[in-house]
Structure 1
Amino acid sequence: MIFYYPKSLYDNSARWHIFPLLKSLMKEENNWAKNLSITENIDEADCVILPMSWNYYHTHNNIQEVLNYYKNLPNNRPIVSFVFGDFGVKVPKTFSGYVFRSNGGKSKQSSNHKGLPVFIEDPILKYFPNQDAIPKATSNKATVGFCGQAIKLGKNSIKEVLKTAVKNMLSSIGYTKRDTEQLISTTYFRWKILNNLQKSDKVISNFILRKAYRAGVASEKDRLSTSIEFYNNIKDSDYVICMRGAGNFSTRFYETLAMGRIPVFVNTDCLLPLESKINWKEHVVWVAYNERHLVAEKVYKFHKKHDNTSLNNLFLANRKLWEEQLQLYPFFNTFFNED
């Protein structure tokens, strides 16, 4: 697959907003790219990349320039773009090219919006290089892990909801270009789910609850320590609670798969990657938002279908899924081969 990008719409100084595949392909050494490359001649390209995020183009007031380029794109080549960050922005309805995004609500988006994984370092290579970190002994009861921010109902929860309500109002009146968000306190939402599991006798809870993101640490040494604690919590669990944070997606979802464990995925209208190719319900415990109060029962029923051998086979299958379809180059190779 050969890609072209318009340099007139590119800004090298805004590195976070560069299309992730493009940013990687521009590096001198690309041993992982395999069948993906860039050309400076659009006639050689199979696909055009809109180089910066829609967030960037909104901020710099050049949406119309982007749409003019798209309208005059030669030879009807497919064009890909992306939305960056925790919160979505409005993409013009006249743009029918692909829009990759982790954020936003699935039901609010048109069919050209596609789920984008959160691309992470390989945690096994980084934190457990000399260990066989995936297979584990399991018991009749499922061990459910979670390490992260979760706070009981209080002032923090009210502030979260009020802040979202104000942002939604500003979006609705056209003052900002951000998407509207679900009115929810995400830290209390997590606490409520975890509390449900802790009260259940059907599962074993393995929780490390924090009142601040990454336990509020600042130094590199402390960040390493909390990261090791985080991944050990995943490694020592069978299942890991994965639900939205500030944005409507879960980085923990991909960290859990990379560690060869099973996400307990609480679906808040999320847009998952490769939905037409991956049967996600075979890889996760799927919990619909309106059934979140049944989370312990759903984990219990899922676990009862497995013995130690089949559960370890699923651990390995989830690790393989992440390796072969959810890392940067494998994801885009899979996507374009699929489409």
Structure 2
Amino acid sequence: MLKFYTYIKEITPENRKRVFPMLFDWFYLENPLVKEYFKQVEAIEEADVCILPIDLGFYLSNNRKQEVEQFIAAAKQNNKKVWIYSGGDFGTTIEEDLITFRLGGFHSKMNANTFVMPSFVNDPYSTIITSKWQPLSKNEKPTIGFVGNADGSFSKWVKEALIYSKQVLLRLLKKDFTDNQSFYPSSSMRFKLLDKLRVSDRIDADFIYRNKYRAGANNEAQKSKTTLEFYENIERNLYTFCLRGSGNFSVRFYETLMMGRIPVLIDTDVRLPYHNHVDWNNHCVIATSQNYIEQIVAFHEKHSEEELIEIQKKNRRLALEQLNRQAYFISISKLENSI
């Protein structure tokens, strides 16, 4: 059992959406499984780890950096490890001897104490899909699906450039404390890479392009319809194309794993969860934007139907058992270099 200390005063209804994810399960949901593996202590001297209770970016954006520094100093004075949550698409890099949890970032720039969290997704088979989960058989050609924002127009590129310019300006004005990154027009890049798959005679493509998030759905009926279309596309294709969004990570990657299918991840210097403990090449196709078609075909031809079925089963099991929020932090607490 991992004993933790935190600033209990920050656990308020207003902070519910920005609290450290494990603390959300502990305080707001009072999840019994989490309470089996973690124990709150009132004295910092009794703790194994000190957890900064709120998203780091919230402190920085609200001129509360001094509180973060005081929390870290108190932990160090007592020789305690510090866990920090840096939320949002981009995240913020902080001192090397702290343990930081974030959704994305660039693997080559992150230190060994930075843990990438999964995007915590619900099981569609318990919420929206009524059929029972089944693995797919192997077809002669790899079938690859995609539903989402992919727009190759110049106007879309300009829009993404303007959004990027605004982010740069906010960072220069010290109103945004997230990490700098190069311009990456994700929707435009997605369209470009998908189009090469679409015209390839080595691939069976099943794509639905959207030019708005959720196809512009603005009521619950429309949201349910587009969500079902999204997951049905993943369900009927052995592979799903996954490319980063504005942040350097793909939510679709985790949704594909949850659906028990095989992600095709375009590597943009990503770090995946459990990167030192899971061989992700056994679960997905990881390729560059230069060789992704060849990598998909090679992966498909390399594996027998029985092996592809087993990969699908392993992916769904991995998502259900290790990539949900409760299981993730329980697993992290057990890793030797995290406490």
1:299 to 296, 299, 303: 296
What is the CA distance between 1:177 and its match in structure 2? 1.6
1:313 to 307, 310, 313: 310
What is the CA distance between 1:201 and its match in structure 2? 0.9
Counterpart in 1 of 2:31?
Answer: 30
Counterpart in 1 of 2:61?
Answer: 59
Matched, 1:98 2:95: no
Quick check: 1:197–1:295 contact (8 Å CA) kept in 2?
no
What is the CA distance between 1:29 and its match in structure 2? 4.2
Quick check: 1:54–1:83 contact (8 Å CA) kept in 2?
yes
1:332 to 321, 329, 333: 329
Quick check: 2:151–2:188 contact (8 Å CA) kept in 1?
yes
- The secondary structure found in structure 1 opposite 2:319 is helix
Counterpart in 2 of 1:115?
Answer: 116
1:80 to 80, 83, 97: 83
1:217-266 deviation digits (Å, cap 9, x = unpaired): 01011111111111110000101111111221111111000111111001
Gap runs ≥5 in structure 2: none
234-243 or 77-86, larger mean C-alpha shift: 77-86
- The secondary structure found in structure 1 opposite 2:281 is helix
> Quick one: percent identity of the two aligned structures?
33
The residue identity in structure 1 corresponding to 2:41 is T
What is the CA distance between 1:329 and its match in structure 2? 1.6
Counterpart in 1 of 2:262?
Answer: 262
What is the CA distance between 1:185 and its match in structure 2? 1.0
Cα distance in 1 for residues equivalent to 2:81 and 2:302:
43
Cα distance in 1 for residues equivalent to 2:201 and 2:168:
40
1:260-305 deviation digits (Å, cap 9, x = unpaired): 11110011122211101011111110113xxx13222110000001
4+ runs deviating over 3 angstroms: 8-12, 39-44, 172-176
What is the CA distance between 1:61 and its match in structure 2? 0.9
Cα distance in 1 for residues equivalent to 2:200 and 2:267:
21
Gap runs ≥5 in structure 1: none
Matched, 1:182 2:182: yes
Counterpart in 1 of 2:159?
Answer: 159
Quick check: 2:61–2:177 contact (8 Å CA) kept in 1?
no
Counterpart in 1 of 2:42?
Answer: 40
Structure 1 residues 191, 107: CA separation in 2 closer, same or farther (over 3 Å shift)? same
Quick check: 1:283–1:318 contact (8 Å CA) kept in 2?
yes
Cα distance in 1 for residues equivalent to 2:32 and 2:134:
26
